């Protein structure tokens, strides 16, 4: 039964499903009603209350693929007043153990497929629940009659109760566990449900991993708030995407990183528009790929911005120009700051086609100078201080702002390059290179220059797939025709990859690309300093380069 007031907690959103017998959860093995999903969450909440040791932090580690057990435990934590730490299954050994222990998880929910990851790990005080076993079913059986609200921890769930401890990805250092409370998450779900007009007739397809904030905050929560069903894909599959959305009647999905490029790389078919999808919401698709996606599949992609930490948000309005994300969200005082000088960057100059002409001056770090919804990192005061220095929230992301105040994403601060004393943003160069028709995927990153600073390197996956030939002449002609390609932006090195390396959240694995640099088994093309044409990097070239690095005392920078 739906209430007329706006729920202030995720627990209320879960409880509101009680008595709703319409389809609520779709997955490979069947369909469950909204009522059944609330019942399963209530049973696990009751089990949790009984299992959690006295005095322990109310934290549950969840090491699962996108199976029904994941939303069941999200719901259980909400009802009980506990928090879920999403555990990344691509982490290994001590790093995996560190994530579980750092978040003070006394219970770890997993499945048999992930048990090999846990062998040999020292996890003192952590109780393991393996969902696809008879022992687990027997453990749950006594709680089958539980209802929402029957079992709570301490004072029970409230707006200030922690619900998520979600690890933020980063290129260096251990991941930080961002704190997300029920009040903030319920507000985010309600806001997105209103923004995208979510109704009970919608089906939200969740193919991004639920251990990452995107799938929970931008897909599961607005479905809860709008009364929509969710459909789960165990792991993202580009080849199965259209079959899934047709089978489930999906109307909405979220994406992260390069998932859109993988979908565009699938063979086109005459039935590419034969589906019910109306919207995709995510980040880092790029204007070129978003246009290609809309043309091929008939689905509008909406780029959003709002980190798991909640420190800043950008809201799209009907007058948002192509390529922009929108303006500052309500209550935010966003500025684009030059991190070296602390001064606000000048407005971006855009040509009639929306291409950035003054990136070196206009690109800076997005900072929230007003109130922030950032709720901190679990047991990491140094990271909190770095995020909130000088009383501002520093996002760690690069942006530029046009004269009308619209904001454009330009990459992560880790993706900034410094070439010949000029600061460049990798995402801006990527957006230019993405126009090259033979490119299915592009990633731009820094490699150290032999003398000082960086050089631009690009990894390119070709549309024709493995074995396709890279034409240096065509690439050079393309670069020469791009009016917004600055004099320092053209890649010194081009690595041709069969497939772009990615993380578990479908983002480009830039760390591995940077570490390999130009020393890789993949074909690498390069331009000598001052040269205008690309040539294949051979053994003699590589030996000469390494000698130059050693002579300048910079050889130790390679492979970092």
What percentage of residues in the chain have a pLDDT greater than 90?
A: 71
The stretch 366-382 carries a mean pLDDT of 94
The phi and psi torsions of 558 (rounded to 5 degrees) equal -75, 140
| Poorest-pLDDT segment among 298-307, 401-410, 460-469 | 460-469
CA dihedral angle for residue 507, residue 511, residue 517, residue 519, rounded to 10 degrees: -100
User: Rounded mean pLDDT of the chain?
Assistant: 92
Among 172-176, 392-396, 445-449, whose mean pLDDT is lowest?
172-176
Cα dihedral 491, 497, 499, 505 sign: negative
- Token code pair at residue 332: 């935010």
Q: Backbone phi, then psi, for 471, in 5-degree steps? A: -100, 105
d(CA 386, CA 407): 23
For residues 481-513, one letter each, b for 16 or more C-beta atoms within 10 angstroms of the residue's C-beta and e for the rest, the string is eeebbbebbbbbbbbbbeebebbbbbbbbbbeb
Question: Where do we find the tokens 């000029």?
Answer: 422
User: For residue 171, what pLDDT is reported?
Assistant: 45
Lookup: tokens for 559: 């492979």
Maximum Cα–Cα distance across the chain: 75
Q: What is the per-residue pLDDT for 457?
A: 96
More confident residue, 284 or 311: 311
CA distances from 189 to 8, 10, 218, 395 (A): 10, 9, 7, 21
Question: What is the C-alpha separation between 550 and 545, in angstroms, rounded?
Answer: 9
Are β-strands 229-232 and 203-206 bridged in parallel, bridged antiparallel, or unpaired? parallel
Q: Tens digit of pLDDT for each residue in 471-518?
A: 999 999 999 999 888 888 999 999 999 999 988 888 888 889 988 999
Using one digit for the tens of pLDDT, what is the confidence trace for 317-343? 889 998 899 998 777 899 999 988 899
Strands 229-232, 23-27: pairing kind: parallel
Q: Is the distance from CB of 229 to CB of 223 less than 8 angstroms?
A: yes
* Cβ within 8 Å of residue 395, ≥6 positions away: 307, 311, 312, 365, 366, 367, 368
- Cβ atoms within 10 Å of 345's Cβ, excluding its own: 20
pTM: 0.83
- Give yes or no for residue 141 having a pLDDT over 50: yes
Residue 436 has which token pair? 């090259």
Confidence of residue 465 (pLDDT cuts 50, 70, 90): low
Cα three-residue angle 155-224-323, rounded to 5 degrees: 120
- pLDDT tens by residue, 432-453: 999 999 999 999 999 988 877 8
pLDDT digits (tens, 9 = 90+) for 219-248: 999 999 999 999 999 999 999 999 999 999
């Amino acid at each position: 039964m739906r209430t007329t007031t706006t729920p202030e907690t995720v627990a209320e959103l879960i409880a509101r499903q009680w008595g709703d017998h319409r389809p609520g959860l779709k997955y490979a093995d069947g369909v469950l009603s909204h009522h059944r999903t609330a019942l399963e969450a209530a049973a696990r909440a009751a089990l949790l209350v009984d299992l959690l040791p006295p005095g322990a932090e109310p934290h549950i580690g969840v090491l699962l693929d996108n199976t029904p057990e994941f939303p069941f435990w999200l719901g259980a934590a909400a009802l009980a007043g506990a928090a879920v730490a999403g555990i990344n299954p691509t982490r290994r050994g001590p790093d995996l153990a560190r994530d579980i222990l750092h978040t003070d998880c006394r219970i770890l929910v997993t499945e048999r497929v992930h048990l090999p990851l846990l062998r040999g790990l020292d996890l003192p005080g952590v109780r393991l629940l393996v969902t696809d076993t008879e022992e687990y079913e027997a453990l749950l059986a006594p709680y089958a009659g539980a209802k929402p609200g029957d079992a709570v921890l301490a004072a029970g769930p409230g707006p200030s109760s922690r619900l998520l401890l979600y690890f933020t990805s980063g290129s260096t250092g251990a991941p930080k566990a961002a704190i997300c409370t029920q009040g903030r998450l319920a507000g985010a779900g309600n806001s997105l449900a209103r923004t995208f007009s979510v109704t009970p007739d919608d089906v939200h397809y969740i193919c991004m991993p639920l251990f990452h904030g995107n799938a929970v905050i931008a897909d599961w929560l607005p479905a809860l708030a709008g009364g929509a069903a969710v459909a789960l894909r165990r792991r993202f599959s580009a080849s199965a995407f259209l079959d899934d959305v047709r089978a489930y009647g999906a109307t909405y999905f979220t994406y992260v990183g390069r998932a859109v490029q993988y979908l565009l790389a699938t063979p086109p078919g005459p039935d590419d528009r034969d589906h019910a999808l109306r919207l995709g919401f995510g980040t880092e698709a790029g204007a070129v790929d978003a246009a290609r996606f809309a043309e091929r599949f008939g689905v509008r992609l909406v780029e959003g911005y709002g980190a798991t930490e909640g420190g800043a948000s950008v809201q799209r309005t009907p007058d948002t120009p192509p390529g922009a994300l929108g303006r500052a969200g309500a209550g935010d005082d966003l500025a684009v700051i030059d991190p070296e000088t602390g001064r606000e960057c000048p407005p971006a100059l855009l040509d009639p086609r929306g291409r950035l002409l003054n990136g070196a001056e206009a690109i800076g770090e997005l900072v929230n100078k007003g109130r922030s919804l950032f709720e901190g990192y679990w047991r990491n005061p140094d990271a909190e201080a770095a995020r909130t220095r000088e009383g501002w929230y520093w996002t760690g992301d690069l942006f530029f702002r046009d004269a009308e105040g619209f904001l454009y994403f330009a990459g992560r601060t880790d993706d900034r390059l410094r070439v010949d004393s000029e600061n460049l943003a990798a995402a801006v160069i990527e957006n230019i290179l993405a126009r090259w028709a033979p490119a299915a995927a592009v990633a731009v990153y820094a490699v150290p220059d032999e003398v000082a600073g960086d050089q631009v390197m690009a990894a390119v996956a070709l549309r024709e797939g493995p074995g396709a030939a890279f034409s240096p002449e065509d690439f050079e002609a393309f670069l020469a025709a791009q009016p917004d390609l600055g004099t320092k932006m053209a890649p010194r090195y081009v690595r041709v990859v069969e497939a772009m390396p990615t993380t578990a959240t479908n983002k480009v694995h830039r760390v591995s690309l940077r570490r390999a640099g130009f020393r890789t088994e993949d074909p690498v093309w390069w331009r000598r300093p001052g040269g205008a044409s690309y040539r294949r990097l051979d053994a003699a070239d590589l030996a000469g380069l390494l000698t130059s690095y050693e002579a300048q005392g910079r050889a130790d920078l390679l492979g970092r």
